């Protein structure tokens, strides 16, 4: 009788195939899932092995995982955990071999890991310098290998392929729970030694239970020697050659470390404007967008992926039509920037003109500044229906010396929707709504958003003040730093955290982790570092909304879902502000707190109070009154606090649904660099399957209602996608945009149609 030979240790050892041993292993790893068809799986695996004369132990492991993963579907979704267990067994085996400990232990010495990867130049030496051996040994004892069982197959594949620390030859050293512990150690490294270990353990608890995820750059780089920890950035470009090229250099430096960048081009002169008095010679913004496009392609983040940039432009800019066509696959290729995402900055007045089918006027920002003495983009409407922007816009319309182009507002909107149907962009940025609710309007204005439309923070350009040759022969450049926005992101796994009722415990440690990222970060661009310290802005977000609805048995298209969004995000806002207030008491408020709407109490009064005739405030709940008083007395640690990012990648790791989005379908195949795996909607069962309606089959007006309910409790914004069929009528799509604007949404992200394929920004994945 033929016996299959099993080879081990790269063929150095040969053993006869032990069928019973493998059968027992399969029984062991599947024992928690009695409803699976284990006998069929076992027979297929054993038959495959016995058919060949020789199999390596690595091939058997791969066969087991592959065969289990191929069985993942909505009827037997638990195969994902069987496949994950097999893959984890492979990781344990490789790590133990490389680190020289017994595989049965699963995890080796944390101290030993820090020593070996520190010596190889992978880990940051500060971990060994600032923590004693005894402290590290204690933290090593805290690690819970059993929490690896929480990973789905696609979750552990994603974590292992993209985030776990290896040596420089890509050999496995770090394991999942060690990645979480190293992140916790790094983020708490500067906390007072008296209670630092308790904070590390608390951060590890939050991460290892998959109650939250940190942003992709933090997940990748925390504790390592390379990279920075922030997700993305926003730059403002001044209308000068120096500013344009300096900005290009800055965004290239940010991009090389994995940061996505939003760039505001609204100050740049339009095509046909004058340069130094010479009429009609300016080339407009498209040439500079082409330059950025080349930078995005060339600065490819160590070969991992090309850079990710989004450019924003105001709808009154004379180049708006060229801008809106920039990503189309038809037309003049010299005016196309296929690798740049676009965003339209839209005032209330424009939407009113669209609704009333009135004319709209386009201007050249350079000419407006020259003739009028001010810049139109520096104003917004302080109240709905009235304000400084529309007054200044009218002045521009009426000025006899100012050139202008008149177009029907609906024609611009048609061009926006055409581009959205073909490319998914432009994003929509409702600038008046954004600036009216800006808690830090005492220090500036918000011109645009970031790559994923969830960040809303003050912006201004960096300018060169002086440049001279010193006596030593060195060129000295002095710059006035503008507000270059930095996004520090992290997200709550709603389904897991809400179901286990841990929000009150989770959010304080999460806010502390985010706040510590600000001080630990090493950002190459100095004005970004400066802005980070001034505002100490964070972006606490969420994912797993559809997952939570399914578990609770709530239909997406229901008032119950809208009400849950309202109540849940109010709670998250309250807990986040409370945590930041307590941190301010401990560590001090952010430097620009004085004069902010947090300081005056106006922000929370507007959100949770009603002003009476006598000027007093009637609060929706007395807890908000008390919190507002605490903040006014003791401050806030962070100037901006909540932002809901797309987080498609890290939600996969945590085994949940992305952001606040509905699922595309109940099951699909996830393809990433290095692996391919079937995926089902999380916790899908005979009970939950009815609540996992596909995104493209959901009435988007319900999604807008939900988002309006949560936006009331979010000081920044939300990466909110519209899902539409390719055959949608223009009137219906326009209706969704009008509803979003009237409902108080600050932004909409991609318009995803059944004909467009859009890759999510990994930088903002948190």
DSSP, residue by residue, 36-102: S-HHHHHHHHHHHHHHSSEEEHHHHHHHHHHHHHHT-SSSSTTHHHHHHHHHHHHHHHHHHHHHTS-
Q: Which of 94, 174, 178, 454 is catalytic?
A: 454
Q: Give the pLDDT of residue 73.
A: 95
Q: CA dihedral defined by 541, 546, 548, 554, rounded to 10 degrees? A: 140
Q: Give the pLDDT of residue 760.
A: 55
What's the CA angle centered on 145, arms 141 and 146, to 5 degrees? 125
Helix (H, G, I), strand (E, B) or coil at 620: coil
Where residue 758 falls among pLDDT bands split at 50, 70, 90? low
Contact indicator for 203, 191 with CB cutoff of 8 Å: no
- CA dist 458 and 446 (Å) reads 5
Where residue 143 falls among pLDDT bands split at 50, 70, 90? very high
Q: Which of 221, 248, 257, 450 is catalytic?
A: 450
The mean pLDDT value for 413-438 works out to 97
The mean pLDDT value for 222-251 works out to 94
Is residue 757 pLDDT above 60, yes or no? no
Per residue in 554-568, pLDDT (tens digit) is 999 999 999 999 999
The mean pLDDT value for 208-213 works out to 98
Determine phi and psi for 109, rounding to 5 degrees: -75, 125
- 152 Cβ contact list (under 8 Å, min separation 6): 80, 81, 84, 652, 655, 679, 682
The mean pLDDT value for 435-464 works out to 98
Q: Give the pLDDT of residue 673.
A: 78
Q: How far apart, in Å, are the Cα atoms of 13 and each of 10, 53, 54? A: 8, 15, 12
Helix (H, G, I), strand (E, B) or coil at 326: coil
Q: How far apart, in Å, are the Cα atoms of 761 and each of 306, 426, 462, 719? A: 11, 15, 26, 11
Per residue in 246-302, pLDDT (tens digit) is 999 999 999 888 788 999 999 999 999 999 989 999 999 999 999 999 999 998 765
Q: Give the pLDDT of residue 304.
A: 61
Own/partner contacts of 615-623, CB < 8 Å, gap of 24 or more, are 623/574
DSSP state letters, 649-684: HHHHHTTS--TTPPPS-SEEEEEETTEEEEEE-TT-
Of 751, 735, 740, 732, which is closest to residue 707 (Cα–Cα)? 740
Is residue 766 pLDDT above 70, yes or no? no
Is residue 358 pLDDT above 80, yes or no? yes
Q: Give the pLDDT of residue 334.
A: 87
Q: Which of 232, 452, 487, 764 is catalytic?
A: 452
Q: Give the pLDDT of residue 301.
A: 62
CATH dotted code for 476-723? 3.20.70.20
Locate the DSSP E strands across 573-661: 609-611, 617-619
Contact indicator for 18, 46 with CB cutoff of 8 Å: no
Helix (H, G, I), strand (E, B) or coil at 166: strand
Helix (H, G, I), strand (E, B) or coil at 250: helix
Give the mean pLDDT of the chain: 94
Per residue in 369-394, pLDDT (tens digit) is 999 999 999 999 999 999 999 999 99
Is residue 755 pLDDT above 80, yes or no? no
Per residue in 563-614, pLDDT (tens digit) is 999 999 999 999 999 999 999 999 999 999 999 999 999 999 999 999 898 8
Biggest alpha carbon distance in the chain?
Answer: 99
Residue 32: count of CB within 10 angstroms of its CB: 12
Of 259, 274, 186, 180, which is closest to residue 216 (Cα–Cα)? 259
Burial class (CB in 10 A: 0-12, 13-18, 19+), 553: exposed
Contact indicator for 308, 761 with CB cutoff of 8 Å: yes
Active site residue 454: yes
Active site residue 450: yes
Burial class (CB in 10 A: 0-12, 13-18, 19+), 237: buried
Q: In the chain, list all ranges with CATH 3.20.70.20.
A: 238-450, 476-723
Is residue 231 pLDDT above 90, yes or no? no
- CA dist 213 and 169 (Å) reads 27
- CA dist 327 and 313 (Å) reads 14
Q: Give the pLDDT of residue 763.
A: 45
CATH number (2.40.30.10, 3.40.50.880, 3.20.70.20, 3.30.2000.10) of 238-450 reads 3.20.70.20
Active site residue 10: no
- 607 Cβ contact list (under 8 Å, min separation 6): 624, 712, 713
Is residue 57 pLDDT above 90, yes or no? no
Helix (H, G, I), strand (E, B) or coil at 539: strand
Please report, in angstroms and rounded to a whole number, the separation of the first and last CA atoms in the chain. Answer: 55
Q: Residue 310: beta bridge partners? A: 262, 341
Q: Give the pLDDT of residue 756.
A: 59
Per residue in 70-129, pLDDT (tens digit) is 999 999 999 999 999 999 999 999 999 999 999 999 999 999 999 999 999 999 999 999
Contact indicator for 587, 636 with CB cutoff of 8 Å: no
């Amino acid at each position: 009788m033929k016996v299959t030979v099993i080879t081990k240790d790269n063929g150095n050892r040969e053993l006869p195939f032990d069928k019973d041993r493998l059968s027992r292993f399969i029984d062991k790893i599947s024992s928690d899932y009695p409803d699976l068809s284990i006998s069929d799986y076992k027979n297929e695996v054993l038959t495959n092995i016995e058919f060949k004369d020789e199999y390596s132990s690595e091939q058997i492991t791969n066969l087991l995982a592959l065969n289990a993963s191929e069985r993942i579907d909505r009827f037997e979704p638990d195969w994902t955990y069987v496949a994950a267990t097999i893959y984890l067994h492979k990781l344990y085996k490789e790590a133990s071999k490389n680190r020289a400990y017994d595989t049965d232990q699963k995890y080796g010495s944390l101290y030993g890991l820090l020593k070996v990867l520190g010596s190889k130049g992978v880990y940051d030496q500060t971990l060994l310098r600032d923590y004693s051996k005894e402290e590290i040994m204690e933290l090593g004892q805290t690690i819970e290998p059993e929490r690896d069982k929480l990973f789905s197959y696609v979750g552990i594949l994603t974590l292992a392929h993209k985030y776990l620390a290896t040596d420089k030859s890509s050999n496995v050293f770090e394991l999942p729970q060690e990645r979480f512990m190293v992140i916790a150690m790094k983020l708490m490294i500067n906390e007072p030694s008296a209670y630092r270990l308790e904070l590390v353990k608390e951060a590890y608890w939050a991460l290892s239970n998959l109650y939250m995820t940190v942003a992709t750059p933090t997940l990748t780089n925390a504790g390592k020697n390379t990279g920075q920890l922030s997700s993305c950035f926003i730059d403002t470009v001044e209308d000068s050659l120096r500013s344009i090229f300096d900005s290009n250099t800055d965004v290239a430096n940010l991009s090389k470390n994995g940061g996505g960048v939003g760039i505001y081009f609204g100050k740049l002169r339009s095509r046909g404007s004058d340069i130094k008095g010479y009429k009609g010679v300016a080339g407009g913004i498209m040439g500079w967008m082409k330059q950025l496009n080349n930078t995005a392609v060339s600065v490819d983040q160590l070969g991992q992926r090309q850079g990710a940039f989004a450019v924003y432009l105001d709808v009154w800019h004379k180049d708006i039509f060229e801008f809106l066509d920039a990503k189309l696959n038809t037309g003049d290729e010299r005016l196309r920037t296929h690798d740049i995402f676009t965003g339209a900055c839209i005032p209330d007045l424009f939407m009113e003109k669209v609704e009333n089918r009135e004319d709209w006027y386009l201007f050249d920002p350079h000419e407006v500044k020259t003739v009028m003495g001010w810049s139109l983009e520096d104003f917004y409407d302080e109240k709905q229906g009235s304000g400084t922007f529309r007054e200044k816009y009218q002045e521009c319309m009426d000025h006899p010396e100012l050139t202008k182009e008149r177009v029907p507002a609906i024609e611009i909107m048609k061009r926006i929707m055409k581009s959205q149907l073909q490319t998914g962009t432009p994003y929509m940025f409702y600038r008046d709504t954004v600036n009216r609710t800006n808690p830090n309007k005492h220090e500036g204005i918000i011109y645009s958003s970031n790559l994923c439309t969830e960040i809303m923070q003050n912006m201004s350009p960096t300018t060169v003040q002086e440049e001279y040759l010193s006596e030593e022969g060195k060129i000295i450049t002095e710059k006035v730093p503008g507000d270059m926005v930095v996004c520090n992101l992290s997200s709550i796994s709603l389904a897991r955290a809400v179901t286990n009722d841990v929000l009150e415990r989770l959010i304080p440690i999460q806010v502390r982790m985010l706040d510590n990222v600000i001080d630990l970060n090493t950002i190459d661009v100095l004005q970004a570092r400066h802005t980070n310290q001034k505002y100490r802005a964070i972006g606490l977000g969420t994912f797993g909304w559809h997952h939570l609805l399914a578990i609770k048995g709530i239909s997406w298209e229901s008032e119950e879902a809208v009400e849950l969004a309202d109540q849940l995000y109010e709670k998250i806002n309250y807990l986040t502000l409370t945590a930041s207030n307590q941190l301010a008491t401990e560590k001090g408020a952010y430097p620009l707190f004085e004069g902010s709407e947090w300081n005056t109490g106006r922000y929370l009064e507007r959100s949770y109070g009603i002003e009476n005739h006598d000027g007093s405030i009637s609060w929706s709940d007395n807890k908000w009154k008390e919190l507002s008083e605490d903040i006014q007395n003791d401050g806030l640690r962070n100037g901006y606090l909540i932002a809901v990012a797309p987080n498609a990648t890290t939600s996969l790791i945590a085994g949940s649904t992305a952001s606040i989005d509905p699922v595309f379908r109940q099951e699909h195949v996830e393809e990433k660099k290095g692996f391919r795996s079937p995926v089902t909607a999380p916790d899908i069962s005979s009970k939950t399957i009815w609540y996992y309606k596909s995104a493209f089959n959901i009435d988007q007006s319900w999604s807008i209602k939900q988002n309006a309910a949560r936006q009331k409790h979010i000081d920044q914004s939300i990466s909110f996608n519209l899902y539409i069929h390719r055959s949608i009528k223009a009137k219906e799509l326009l209706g969704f945009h009008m509803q979003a604007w009237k409902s108080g949404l600050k932004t909409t992200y991609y318009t995803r149609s059944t004909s467009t394929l859009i890759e999510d920004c990994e930088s903002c994945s948190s």
